[in-house]
A and B are shown apart, each in its own frame.
Chain A
Amino acid sequence: MAQLNIVKAVNSALREEMRRDDRVVVLGEDVGKNGGVFRCTEGLIDEFPNRVFDTPLSEGGIIGTSIGMALYGLRPVPEIQFQDFIFSAFDQIVSEAAKMRYRSGGQYTCPLVIRTPYGGGIKGGHYHSQSGEAYFCHTPGLKVVTPSNPHDAKGLLLASIRDPDPVIFLEPKKLYRAFQQEVPDGDYTVPLGQAKVTRQGKDVSLVAWGYMHQVCLDAAEKAKAKGVDCEVIDVRTLVPLDEKTILDSVRKTGRLVIVYEAPRTGGFGGEISALAAEKAIEYLKGPVVRITGFDTPFPYTLEDVYMPNADRVLRGIDKVMAF
Chain B
Amino acid sequence: MPETLAIIQEDGTPDDRWEPDLKREPLERLYRFMLLERLLDQRMLSLQRQGRIGFYGPATGQEATIVGAAFALEPQDWIFPQYRETGAALLRGLPLKTMICQFMGNAGDVGHGRQMPCHYTWRDGRFVSISSVVGPRITQAAGAAWAAKIRGDDVAVLAYFGDGATSTADFHTGLNFAGVFEAPCVFLCNNNQYAISVPFSRQTAAATVAQKAGAYGFEGIRVDGMDALAVYRSVRDACLKAHEGGGPTLIEALTYRLGPHSSSDDPSRYRPEAEFEAWKARDPLDKMRRYLEYKGIWSDAYEARVNEELETAISTAIREAEQEPAPAVETLFDDVYETVPPHLAEQREDILKQLREIGRG
A25 to B147, CA, bound (A): 9
B131 to chain A, nearest CB (A): 6
| Contact across chains for B140 and A68 when beta carbons are under 8 A apart | yes
Whether a CB of chain A sits under 8 angstroms from the CB of B148 is yes
Whether a CB of chain B sits under 8 angstroms from the CB of A141 is yes
Interface centre among B110, B129, B141, B176 (most CB of A within 10 A): B129
Whether a CB of chain A sits under 8 angstroms from the CB of B349 is no
Q: Return chain A residues, CB-CB under 8 Å to B11.
A: none
| Contact across chains for B336 and A141 when beta carbons are under 8 A apart | yes
| Contact across chains for B142 and A101 when beta carbons are under 8 A apart | no
Name which residue of chain B comes closest to A166, CB basis: B337
Known: A56-B180, A64-B174, A73-B147. A88 touches B169 (CB 8 A): yes
Known: A95-B133, A103-B121, A109-B338. A61 touches B147 (CB 8 A): no
Q: Return chain A residues, CB-CB under 8 Å to B80.
A: 68
Name which residue of chain B comes closest to A95, CB basis: B133
B120 to chain A, nearest CB (A): 9
A212 to chain B, nearest CB (A): 22
Whether a CB of chain B sits under 8 angstroms from the CB of A106 is yes
Name which residue of chain B comes closest to A61, CB basis: B173
Interface centre among A71, A96, A105 (most CB of B within 10 A): A105
The number of chain A residues with a CB under 8 A from chain B is: 44
B 127-159 to A, binary, CB cutoff 8 A, 1 in contact else 0: 011110101101111111111101100000100
Question: Which listed residue, B145, B174, B334, B338, touches A165 by the CB 8 Å rule?
Answer: B338
Whether a CB of chain A sits under 8 angstroms from the CB of B112 is yes
A 90-109 to B, binary, CB cutoff 8 A, 1 in contact else 0: 01100110011111111111
Whether a CB of chain A sits under 8 angstroms from the CB of B295 is no
Name which residue of chain B comes closest to A241, CB basis: B343
Interface residues of B in 74-131 (CB under 8 A from A): 78, 80, 109-112, 114-115, 119, 121-123, 128-131
A60 to B336, CA, bound (A): 23
Q: Return chain B residues, CB-CB under 8 Å to A91.
A: 133, 135-136
| Contact across chains for A101 and B176 when beta carbons are under 8 A apart | no
Name which residue of chain A comes closest to B332, CB basis: A102
Q: Return chain B residues, CB-CB under 8 Å to A69.
A: 143-144, 146-147, 150
The number of chain B residues with a CB under 8 A from chain A is: 50
B 305-341 to A, binary, CB cutoff 8 A, 1 in contact else 0: 0000000000000000000000000000011111001
Whether a CB of chain A sits under 8 angstroms from the CB of B170 is yes
Known: A64-B136, A108-B123. A58 touches B173 (CB 8 A): yes
Known: A74-B150, A101-B335, A108-B129. A68 touches B119 (CB 8 A): no
Known: A92-B136, A140-B336, A240-B342. A105 touches B176 (CB 8 A): no
Q: Return chain B residues, CB-CB under 8 Å to A273.
A: none
| Contact across chains for B148 and A72 when beta carbons are under 8 A apart | yes
A85 to chain B, nearest CB (A): 14
23 CB contacts below 8 A, A to B, read A51-B150, A55-B180, A61-B174, A64-B173, A64-B174, A65-B139, A65-B140, A68-B80, A68-B147, A72-B147, A88-B169, A92-B140, A95-B133, A96-B131, A101-B335, A102-B335, A103-B111, A104-B128, A105-B110, A105-B121, A106-B335, A141-B336, A240-B342
Tell me the B residues contacting A by CB distance below 8 Å.
78, 80, 109-112, 114-115, 119, 121-123, 128-131, 133, 135-136, 138-148, 150-151, 157, 169-170, 173-174, 176-177, 180-181, 334-338, 341-344
Q: Closest 8 A-B residue pairs measured CB to CB?
A: A68-B143, A64-B139, A65-B143, A240-B341, A68-B144, A104-B129, A72-B147, A107-B123
